[in-house]
Copies of this chain bind each other. A is one copy, B any other.
Amino acid sequence: MIDIMGIKALTFDVFGTVVDWRGSVIHEGKRLGSGLLVDVDWPAFADAWRQGYEPAMARVRTGELPWTKIDDLHRMILDRLLLEYGIEGLDEERKDYLNRVWHRLAPWPDAIDGLNRIRDRYVIAALSNGNVSLLTNMAKHAGLPWDCILSAELAKKYKPDREVYQTAVELLGFPSDQVMMVAAHKHDLDGAKMAGMRTAYVPRSLEFGTRHVVDVEPDDRYDMFAYDFNDLASKLGT
Protein backbone atom coordinates (compact mmCIF):
# COMPACT_ATOMS: atom_id res chain seq x y z
CA MET A 1 0.00 0.00 0.00
CA ILE A 2 1.14 3.50 -0.79
CA ASP A 3 2.42 5.61 2.10
CA ILE A 4 -0.16 8.38 1.95
CA MET A 5 1.85 10.47 4.34
CA GLY A 6 4.44 11.09 1.65
CA ILE A 7 1.95 12.93 -0.55
CA LYS A 8 1.85 16.70 -0.15
CA ALA A 9 -0.23 17.81 -3.11
CA LEU A 10 -2.72 16.44 -5.61
CA THR A 11 -3.30 17.65 -9.15
CA PHE A 12 -6.62 16.94 -10.82
CA ASP A 13 -7.62 16.43 -14.40
CA VAL A 14 -10.80 18.45 -14.83
CA PHE A 15 -12.89 17.66 -17.96
CA GLY A 16 -14.60 14.36 -17.19
CA THR A 17 -12.78 13.81 -13.89
CA VAL A 18 -14.14 16.76 -11.88
CA VAL A 19 -16.89 18.08 -14.14
CA ASP A 20 -19.51 16.48 -16.35
CA TRP A 21 -18.76 18.20 -19.66
CA ARG A 22 -21.25 16.12 -21.63
CA GLY A 23 -24.25 16.73 -19.42
CA SER A 24 -23.43 20.44 -19.18
CA VAL A 25 -23.04 20.94 -22.93
CA ILE A 26 -26.29 19.04 -23.60
CA HIS A 27 -28.11 21.09 -20.95
CA GLU A 28 -27.00 24.44 -22.37
CA GLY A 29 -27.55 23.26 -25.93
CA LYS A 30 -31.15 22.37 -25.20
CA ARG A 31 -31.76 25.77 -23.65
CA LEU A 32 -30.24 27.44 -26.69
CA GLY A 33 -32.10 25.09 -29.02
CA SER A 34 -35.55 26.43 -28.35
CA GLY A 35 -34.57 29.66 -30.11
CA LEU A 36 -33.12 27.95 -33.19
CA LEU A 37 -34.74 27.08 -36.52
CA VAL A 38 -33.31 23.57 -36.62
CA ASP A 39 -33.77 20.60 -34.32
CA VAL A 40 -30.35 19.62 -32.97
CA ASP A 41 -29.34 16.26 -31.49
CA TRP A 42 -27.50 17.84 -28.57
CA PRO A 43 -26.00 14.62 -27.14
CA ALA A 44 -24.49 13.94 -30.58
CA PHE A 45 -23.41 17.58 -30.82
CA ALA A 46 -21.69 17.40 -27.42
CA ASP A 47 -19.94 14.17 -28.38
CA ALA A 48 -18.81 15.60 -31.71
CA TRP A 49 -17.47 18.74 -30.00
CA ARG A 50 -15.49 16.65 -27.56
CA GLN A 51 -14.32 14.26 -30.27
CA GLY A 52 -12.83 17.21 -32.13
CA TYR A 53 -10.72 18.07 -29.11
CA GLU A 54 -8.04 15.35 -29.19
CA PRO A 55 -7.30 15.81 -32.93
CA ALA A 56 -7.15 19.60 -32.44
CA MET A 57 -4.68 19.23 -29.56
CA ALA A 58 -2.72 16.72 -31.63
CA ARG A 59 -2.21 19.42 -34.26
CA VAL A 60 -0.63 21.59 -31.55
CA ARG A 61 1.35 18.73 -30.03
CA THR A 62 2.89 17.81 -33.40
CA GLY A 63 3.69 21.43 -34.20
CA GLU A 64 1.26 21.69 -37.12
CA LEU A 65 -0.40 24.55 -35.19
CA PRO A 66 1.52 26.99 -32.97
CA TRP A 67 0.50 27.11 -29.32
CA THR A 68 -3.28 27.56 -29.31
CA LYS A 69 -5.33 27.56 -26.14
CA ILE A 70 -8.37 25.37 -25.63
CA ASP A 71 -10.82 28.26 -25.92
CA ASP A 72 -9.58 28.79 -29.47
CA LEU A 73 -9.52 25.07 -30.30
CA HIS A 74 -13.06 24.74 -28.98
CA ARG A 75 -14.09 27.64 -31.18
CA MET A 76 -12.49 26.14 -34.31
CA ILE A 77 -14.43 22.93 -33.71
CA LEU A 78 -17.63 24.79 -32.85
CA ASP A 79 -17.54 26.82 -36.08
CA ARG A 80 -17.28 23.58 -38.06
CA LEU A 81 -20.12 21.95 -36.10
CA LEU A 82 -22.44 24.92 -36.52
CA LEU A 83 -22.07 24.46 -40.29
CA GLU A 84 -22.46 20.67 -40.11
CA TYR A 85 -25.59 20.91 -37.96
CA GLY A 86 -27.03 23.73 -40.04
CA ILE A 87 -27.23 26.04 -37.02
CA GLU A 88 -27.59 29.56 -38.38
CA GLY A 89 -28.38 32.99 -37.08
CA LEU A 90 -26.08 33.08 -34.05
CA ASP A 91 -24.28 36.40 -33.87
CA GLU A 92 -20.70 36.64 -32.63
CA GLU A 93 -21.76 37.34 -29.06
CA ARG A 94 -23.96 34.23 -28.91
CA LYS A 95 -21.32 32.05 -30.55
CA ASP A 96 -18.78 33.25 -28.02
CA TYR A 97 -21.22 32.60 -25.19
CA LEU A 98 -21.88 29.08 -26.45
CA ASN A 99 -18.14 28.45 -26.82
CA ARG A 100 -17.71 29.41 -23.18
CA VAL A 101 -20.06 26.67 -22.05
CA TRP A 102 -16.75 24.95 -21.21
CA HIS A 103 -16.23 27.65 -18.55
CA ARG A 104 -19.58 26.74 -16.99
CA LEU A 105 -19.40 22.96 -16.66
CA ALA A 106 -21.09 21.41 -13.63
CA PRO A 107 -19.14 19.23 -11.18
CA TRP A 108 -19.98 15.58 -10.56
CA PRO A 109 -22.16 15.32 -7.42
CA ASP A 110 -19.29 14.07 -5.23
CA ALA A 111 -16.59 16.43 -6.52
CA ILE A 112 -16.88 19.48 -4.27
CA ASP A 113 -17.38 17.52 -1.04
CA GLY A 114 -14.43 15.31 -1.85
CA LEU A 115 -12.19 18.22 -2.84
CA ASN A 116 -13.02 20.12 0.33
CA ARG A 117 -12.13 17.09 2.45
CA ILE A 118 -8.86 16.51 0.59
CA ARG A 119 -8.00 20.20 0.77
CA ASP A 120 -7.98 20.05 4.57
CA ARG A 121 -4.77 18.08 4.53
CA TYR A 122 -3.21 18.52 1.07
CA VAL A 123 -2.59 21.21 -1.50
CA ILE A 124 -5.08 20.66 -4.33
CA ALA A 125 -4.61 22.06 -7.82
CA ALA A 126 -6.35 21.75 -11.15
CA LEU A 127 -4.05 20.41 -13.86
CA SER A 128 -6.04 20.52 -17.04
CA ASN A 129 -5.53 21.07 -20.73
CA GLY A 130 -8.07 23.87 -20.29
CA ASN A 131 -6.56 27.34 -20.25
CA VAL A 132 -6.12 29.27 -17.01
CA SER A 133 -9.02 31.66 -17.61
CA LEU A 134 -11.37 28.80 -18.46
CA LEU A 135 -10.41 26.96 -15.27
CA THR A 136 -10.63 30.15 -13.20
CA ASN A 137 -14.09 30.98 -14.49
CA MET A 138 -15.20 27.39 -14.02
CA ALA A 139 -13.96 27.29 -10.43
CA LYS A 140 -15.76 30.54 -9.66
CA HIS A 141 -18.96 29.36 -11.35
CA ALA A 142 -19.02 25.88 -9.85
CA GLY A 143 -17.39 26.62 -6.49
CA LEU A 144 -14.38 24.36 -7.00
CA PRO A 145 -12.05 25.01 -4.03
CA TRP A 146 -8.65 24.83 -5.76
CA ASP A 147 -5.64 26.05 -3.82
CA CYS A 148 -4.18 27.00 -7.15
CA ILE A 149 -4.97 26.58 -10.81
CA LEU A 150 -2.36 24.94 -13.00
CA SER A 151 -2.80 24.34 -16.68
CA ALA A 152 -1.15 22.96 -19.77
CA GLU A 153 -1.14 26.62 -20.85
CA LEU A 154 1.68 27.31 -18.37
CA ALA A 155 3.94 24.89 -20.25
CA LYS A 156 2.45 25.69 -23.69
CA LYS A 157 2.21 21.94 -24.24
CA TYR A 158 -0.73 19.59 -23.88
CA LYS A 159 -1.07 16.55 -21.62
CA PRO A 160 0.16 13.88 -21.80
CA ASP A 161 3.36 15.71 -22.84
CA ARG A 162 5.83 15.41 -20.01
CA GLU A 163 6.49 19.17 -19.78
CA VAL A 164 2.96 19.80 -18.49
CA TYR A 165 3.45 17.54 -15.47
CA GLN A 166 7.02 18.73 -14.89
CA THR A 167 5.95 22.38 -14.93
CA ALA A 168 3.14 21.68 -12.47
CA VAL A 169 5.38 19.81 -10.06
CA GLU A 170 8.02 22.53 -10.22
CA LEU A 171 5.45 25.27 -9.52
CA LEU A 172 4.04 23.32 -6.57
CA GLY A 173 7.55 23.11 -5.13
CA PHE A 174 7.47 19.44 -4.13
CA PRO A 175 9.46 16.47 -5.43
CA SER A 176 7.45 14.75 -8.18
CA ASP A 177 6.79 11.65 -6.06
CA GLN A 178 5.07 13.79 -3.43
CA VAL A 179 2.48 14.96 -5.96
CA MET A 180 -0.40 12.71 -7.04
CA MET A 181 -2.22 13.09 -10.34
CA VAL A 182 -5.93 12.25 -10.17
CA ALA A 183 -7.73 11.42 -13.41
CA ALA A 184 -10.48 9.38 -14.98
CA HIS A 185 -8.28 8.77 -18.02
CA LYS A 186 -5.41 6.32 -18.18
CA HIS A 187 -3.39 8.18 -20.80
CA ASP A 188 -3.25 11.15 -18.43
CA LEU A 189 -2.12 9.01 -15.50
CA ASP A 190 0.44 7.27 -17.69
CA GLY A 191 1.88 10.68 -18.62
CA ALA A 192 2.03 11.72 -14.96
CA LYS A 193 3.69 8.44 -14.02
CA MET A 194 6.33 8.96 -16.72
CA ALA A 195 7.07 12.31 -15.07
CA GLY A 196 7.60 10.60 -11.70
CA MET A 197 4.29 11.51 -10.08
CA ARG A 198 2.03 9.30 -8.01
CA THR A 199 -1.29 8.42 -9.65
CA ALA A 200 -4.90 7.90 -8.60
CA TYR A 201 -7.45 6.45 -11.00
CA VAL A 202 -11.04 7.60 -10.49
CA PRO A 203 -13.06 6.30 -13.46
CA ARG A 204 -16.26 8.14 -14.34
CA SER A 205 -18.68 5.63 -15.83
CA LEU A 206 -21.10 8.31 -17.06
CA GLU A 207 -18.58 10.63 -18.73
CA PHE A 208 -19.65 9.61 -22.24
CA GLY A 209 -23.31 8.97 -21.42
CA THR A 210 -25.21 5.89 -20.38
CA ARG A 211 -24.85 4.09 -23.71
CA HIS A 212 -21.06 4.20 -23.72
CA VAL A 213 -19.38 1.53 -21.61
CA VAL A 214 -16.35 2.78 -19.66
CA ASP A 215 -13.79 0.40 -18.15
CA VAL A 216 -14.15 1.13 -14.43
CA GLU A 217 -11.93 -1.66 -13.07
CA PRO A 218 -9.01 -0.86 -10.77
CA ASP A 219 -5.65 -0.98 -12.56
CA ASP A 220 -2.45 -2.08 -10.86
CA ARG A 221 -0.42 0.42 -12.85
CA TYR A 222 -1.66 3.22 -10.57
CA ASP A 223 -0.98 3.87 -6.91
CA MET A 224 -4.57 4.41 -5.88
CA PHE A 225 -8.09 3.62 -7.10
CA ALA A 226 -11.27 5.32 -5.96
CA TYR A 227 -14.94 5.10 -6.93
CA ASP A 228 -15.45 8.84 -6.56
CA PHE A 229 -13.91 11.85 -4.78
CA ASN A 230 -15.39 11.01 -1.40
CA ASP A 231 -13.85 7.57 -1.64
CA LEU A 232 -10.59 9.20 -2.70
CA ALA A 233 -10.74 11.55 0.30
CA SER A 234 -11.22 8.57 2.62
CA LYS A 235 -8.35 6.67 1.04
CA LEU A 236 -6.16 9.75 1.51
CA GLY A 237 -6.99 9.68 5.21
CA THR A 238 -9.14 12.82 5.21
| Proximity string of chain A (129-151) to chain B, C-beta cutoff 8 Å, 1 when within and 0 when not | 00111111101100000011100
- CB distance A123 to B136 under 8 Å? yes
**Interface membership of A163, Cβ < 8 A:** no
Whether, in the assembled complex, A172 has its beta carbon less than 8 Å from a beta carbon of chain B, the answer is yes
Query: From residue 147 to 161 of chain A, which have CB atoms closer than 8 A to chain B?
Result: 147-149, 153-154
Interface residues contributed by chain A, number (CB under 8 Å): 21
The distance from the CB of A116 to the nearest CB of chain B, in whole angstroms, is 13
Copies in the complex: 2
A16 CA / B136 CA spacing, docked (Å): 25
Contacts of A174 in B (CB 8 A): 133
Give the residue of B71, B133, B153, B172 whose beta carbon is less than 8 angstroms from that of A133: B172
From A167, which residue of chain B is reached at the shortest CB distance? B154
CB A20 to nearest CB in B, in angstroms, measures: 22
Chain B CB within 10 Å, residue with most, of A123, A125, A136: A136
A80 to chain B, nearest CB (A): 22
